Amino acid sequence: MKKVMLIILDGLGDRPHPYLKHLTPLQAAEIPNMDYMASKGILGMQYPIAPGVPPGSDTGHLSLFGYDLERDYPGRGIFEALGEGIELDEGVAFRANFATVSERGEELIVEDRRAGRISGHDAEALASTISGMSLLDGDVEAEFVHTLEHRGFLILRGRQLSSQVTDVDPHEEGYPVLEPLPMVADERAERTARALKEFLARSYVLLRDHEINRRRMNEDKPPANFVLPRGASEPIEIERFGDRWGFKPAAVAAGPMYKGIARALGFEVYQPEGATGLPDSNFRGKIKEALNLLDYFDFVYVHMKGTDVASHRMDPSLKVKVLERIDLALEDLIDPPEDLLVVITGDHATPCTIGKHSGDPVPVMFYGSGLPRDDSTNFHELDASMGGAGWFSGKDMMKLILNYSNRSLEYGLRPLPKRTWYIPRREDLTPLRI
């Protein structure tokens, strides 16, 4: 049985770009290490969720980790909150922005969804002004946590709340702030909508008249006089990755959401020095850390965000540079330990031509000793589309990983009370005692 290192290059998949002579960034980049691994390994193409469906980074990851999005997806807020170290047992978490609104009749119009990218002390002070509010006659407590720049979380703590409420954020400037509405006819969703409405009305009064905002207006800066919650999310029971797939897992990641997903699934999370979640991240440090962790864990997930950041900036030459820097870091994997399966793929495509996630397939590479071979010579979309691992759904990624790490259980065998896909570890089994 092999150990596994799964490297996810965020937003890896791409399309031909005129600026790169109609090559994709993977084709245009000088990536001798990835090309060498492709020539010795086996390539394929995967649709992280389904053909044509653009994944979010959270849903793309969950699907690749073998979870059913219809059942196991709590919404993005919980993962982001966990990544920031915020735990929620009972209640609802929303992502939220400080924003600037103006009054037009009885409506509030969103003038700036980021309140001039307010940050630092101003944002911190305003957050504490509206945090700790007690709602619905004391049944619900609102906590507002500021994170980066204009962003934060609104947490409603209490019983009988639900994530089935609509976004208050209209996601467009010049549009009115939206009333939070229950999405299903149930008491919990209605209570949540009422609590949220009370929070919005009371926090608007506190923010509008706050001295920081008066000062900002004197300085011709947009006041942060409203918060726009979106993406309601509530804690759900998700089976731990280790129990689901028979691994002892660790994660090497820097971005809060990725750390949050890993924590929610029961990975031990590590962030080496210099790992930033940006194009300048310490990629080599991440690979070295992952190699060290393999002494204690048998599954290490490594996340690198820089590729996706370059794509969102619609900057194909930056994506090429990021890929080339990542390739240098992969030097340490060229000659991997005999018992290691290396898997490289992305959580979705982010074509630089459109600057957002798409439903395109994503190249994947399996590398290690004793694998089947194909005749690919380079790691890019074209070779991957003709690779020996074929085209498959991201939902099946973990089954292929079990297969290529020689951990798959033959279909039909039943050593455990639940359906398993992996050969159980000694500690999973219940011996007969006589």
Please, which of residues 310-349 interact with Zn ion by CB under 5 A? Answer: 347
Which of 2, 303 has the CB closer to Zn ion? Answer: 303
Q: Coil, helix or strand for 258?
A: helix
Which of 10, 80 has the CB closer to Zn ion? Answer: 10
Query: Is 80 a residue that touches Zn ion (CB under 5 A)?
Result: no
Q: List b or e across 272-305, with b for residues whose CB sees 16 or more CB atoms inside 10 angstroms.
A: beebebebebbbbbbbebbbebbeebbbbbbbbb
The count of residues in the chain is 434
> CB 314 → Zn ion: shortest distance, Å?
12
> CB 56 → Zn ion: shortest distance, Å?
7
> CB 377 → Zn ion: shortest distance, Å?
27
Q: Coil, helix or strand for 104?
A: strand
> CB 281 → Zn ion: shortest distance, Å?
14
- Give the interface segment with Zn ion, choosing from 97-105, 165-173, 308-316, 363-371 (CB under 5 A): 308-316
Contact partners, residue 410, CB within 8 Å, separation at least 6: none
Strand partners, 251: 269, 301
Residue 104 φ/ψ, nearest 5 degrees: -135, 100
* 401, containing H or E segment: helix 397-404
Which of 63, 420 has the CB closer to Zn ion? Answer: 63
Measured at the alpha carbon of residue 123, what is the angle toward residues 117 and 129, in degrees to the nearest 5?
145
| CA quadruple 83, 84, 85, 90: dihedral sign | negative
Q: Are 198 and 167 in contact (CB under 8 A)?
A: no
Residue 33 φ/ψ, nearest 5 degrees: -70, -45
Q: Please report, to the nearest 10 degrees, the dihedral formed by the alpha carbons of residues 392, 395, 396, 398 taken in order.
A: 130
- Give the interface segment with Zn ion, choosing from 9-17, 70-78, 107-115, 321-329 (CB under 5 A): 9-17
Which of 312, 321 has the CB closer to Zn ion? Answer: 312
- Give the interface segment with Zn ion, choosing from 8-16, 20-28, 98-106, 179-187 (CB under 5 A): 8-16
Q: Which of 6, 7, 9, 10 binds Zn ion (CB under 5 A)?
A: 10
Q: Which of 27, 33, 46, 57 binds Zn ion (CB under 5 A)?
A: 57
Task: Provide the pairing of β-strand 249-252 with 268-270.
Answer: parallel
Q: What type of residue is 351? A: P
| CA quadruple 417, 420, 426, 427: dihedral sign | negative
Q: Which of 298, 308, 327, 383 binds Zn ion (CB under 5 A)?
A: 308
> CB 165 → Zn ion: shortest distance, Å?
25
- Give the interface segment with Zn ion, choosing from 115-123, 271-279, 281-289, 301-309 (CB under 5 A): 301-309
Q: Site mask, Zn ion, residues 265-294, x = CB under 5 A? A: ------------------------------
Q: Residues binding Zn ion: what is the number (CB under 5 A)?
A: 4
Neighbours of 15 (CB within 10 A): 17
- Give the interface segment with Zn ion, choosing from 25-33, 68-76, 238-246, 304-312 (CB under 5 A): 304-312
Which of 57, 164 has the CB closer to Zn ion? Answer: 57
- Give the interface segment with Zn ion, choosing from 50-58, 136-144, 238-246, 361-369 (CB under 5 A): 50-58
| CA quadruple 236, 237, 243, 249: dihedral sign | positive
- Give the interface segment with Zn ion, choosing from 49-57, 180-188, 247-255, 291-299 (CB under 5 A): 49-57
Q: What type of residue is 262? A: A
> CB 400 → Zn ion: shortest distance, Å?
20
Distance from C-alpha of 233 to C-alpha of 135, rounded to nearest angstrom: 19
Task: Provide the pairing of β-strand 362-367 with 133-135.
Answer: unpaired
Which of 54, 170 has the CB closer to Zn ion? Answer: 54
- Give the interface segment with Zn ion, choosing from 28-36, 56-64, 108-116, 322-330 (CB under 5 A): 56-64
Which of 45, 362 has the CB closer to Zn ion? Answer: 362
Which of 191, 303 has the CB closer to Zn ion? Answer: 303
> CB 342 → Zn ion: shortest distance, Å?
20
Sheet holding 390-393, edge to edge: 268-270, 249-252, 299-304, 3-9, 340-345, 362-367, 42-47, 390-393
Distance from C-alpha of 422 to C-alpha of 407, rounded to nearest angstrom: 6
Which of 140, 349 has the CB closer to Zn ion? Answer: 349
Which of 72, 347 has the CB closer to Zn ion? Answer: 347
Which of 62, 135 has the CB closer to Zn ion? Answer: 62
Give me the residues that bind Zn ion (CB under 5 A), please: 10, 57, 308, 347
